[in-house]
């Protein structure tokens, strides 16, 4: 009990609370659980991350048989920000330099099935629409009932590190299990050994299960080897499972507010 020696003066009340008393510390995630009395008279115990997580898993189980709920669930968990949602609904302007990538990827998305194992390596300068095209593919998949997730290495590592070490990382699991994974902007960062190990866990698991990945990058694949992959393990998996697509266009960011 000596871990519970936070004095009541130290506990901060939210604006709508009358009291907040420490009940216990969760032995799994380490978060404190409080008994809260609100100004409107409601009383309850706060929840730690473990409880939220269990609820999420239960929700997923309940939804497994309902297609429209699955689509909604997949949309909410696909990693789109508000900006992404606006972006992905805008019309894609085709040009000589992007039409091949556009046609290839849209046909790919429309023909996507449980047997699709081919991914892509979309290469080109900043602002040419690499991420936008990947998100367009995701949008089509989502409306056809597939699960998909977009992330980048920096975000991914931040997410993995923020999770409770005792559980298998939910982020890692999601990256391994979704029907299509998009790893955006690979090559912009300098990965640590931890990063490379996590990357390998994801790329290898998807390779073994024949699940596709779309990469976007302004680095040539050869530069990725230099950066990521002392052993060539990741490189060979990427090369073996993706089709290379190059986009040549102006930087669309400078023309846009
Ligand atoms: N062909 C296009 N048609 C319409 N908007 C585009 C096109 N290409 C890029 N954009 C817009 O320009 C911005 C940058 O595109 P983005 O996909 O993020 O570039 P990249 O990932 O290649 O750096 C985004 O807001 C995107 O919606
Ligand atoms: Mg991008
Ligand atoms: Zn907990």
Q: Reply yes or no on whether the pLDDT at 255 is more than 90.
A: no
The CA distance from 33 to 45, in Å, is: 7
Residues whose beta carbon lies within 6 Å of some atom of ligand 1: 87, 90, 92-93, 98, 124, 126-132, 216, 252-253, 256
Q: What is the pLDDT of residues 138-149, one digit of tens each?
A: 999 999 999 999
The CA distance from 37 to 232, in Å, is: 57
Higher pLDDT residue, 56 or 108?
108
Residue 257 pLDDT: 46
Pure H helices in 64-178: 67-76, 82-89, 99-111, 130-143, 153-162, 170-177
The structure's pTM equals: 0.81
177-199 average pLDDT score = 91
Higher pLDDT residue, 216 or 2?
216
The CA distance from 29 to 41, in Å, is: 29
Of these ranges, 91-95, 195-199, 210-214, the one predicted with the greatest mean pLDDT is 210-214
Bridge partner residues of 217 (DSSP): 123
Higher pLDDT residue, 202 or 166?
202
Residue 134 pLDDT: 98
Share of the chain above pLDDT 90, in %: 63
* Closest atom of ligand 1 to CA, residue 94: 1
Residue 230 pLDDT: 61
Distance in Å, CA 230 to ligand 1 centroid:
32
The CA distance from 116 to 127, in Å, is: 28
Residue 256 pLDDT: 54
Which residue of 81, 122, 125, 129 sits with most ligand 1 atoms within 8 Å of its CB, as the best mutation to test the pocket? 129
The CA distance from 171 to 183, in Å, is: 13
Distance in Å, CA 164 to ligand 3 centroid:
9
Q: Reply yes or no on whether the pLDDT at 225 is more than 90.
A: no
Residue 231 pLDDT: 63
């Amino acid at each position: 009990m000596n871990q519970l020696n936070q004095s009541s003066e130290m506990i901060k009340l939210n604006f709508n609370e009358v009291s907040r008393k420490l009940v216990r510390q969760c032995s799994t995630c380490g978060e404190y659980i409080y008994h809260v009395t609100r100004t409107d008279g409601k009383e309850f115990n706060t929840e730690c991350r473990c409880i939220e997580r269990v609820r999420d898993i239960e929700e997923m189980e309940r939804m497994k048989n309902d297609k429209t709920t699955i689509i909604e669930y997949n949309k909410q968990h696909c990693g789109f920000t508000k900006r992404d949602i606006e972006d992905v609904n805008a019309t894609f302007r085709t040009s000589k330099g992007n039409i091949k990538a556009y046609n290839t990827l849209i046909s790919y998305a429309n023909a996507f099935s449980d047997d699709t194992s081919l991914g892509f390596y979309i290469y080109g300068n900043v602002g040419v629409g690499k991420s936008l095209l990947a998100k367009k593919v995701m949008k089509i998949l989502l409306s056809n009932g597939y699960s998909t997730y977009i992330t980048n290495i920096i975000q991914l590592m931040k997410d993995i590190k923020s999770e409770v070490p005792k559980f298998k990382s939910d982020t890692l699991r999601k990256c391994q299990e979704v029907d299509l994974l998009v790893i955006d902007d690979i090559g912009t960062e300098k990965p640590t050994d931890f990063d490379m190990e996590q990357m390998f866990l994801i790329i290898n698991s998807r390779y073994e299960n024949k699940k596709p990945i779309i990469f976007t990058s302004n680095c040539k694949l050869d530069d990725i080897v230099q950066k990521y992959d002392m052993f060539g393990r990741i490189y060979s998996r990427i090369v073996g499972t993706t089709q290379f697509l190059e986009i040549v266009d102006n930087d669309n960011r400078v023309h846009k507010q």
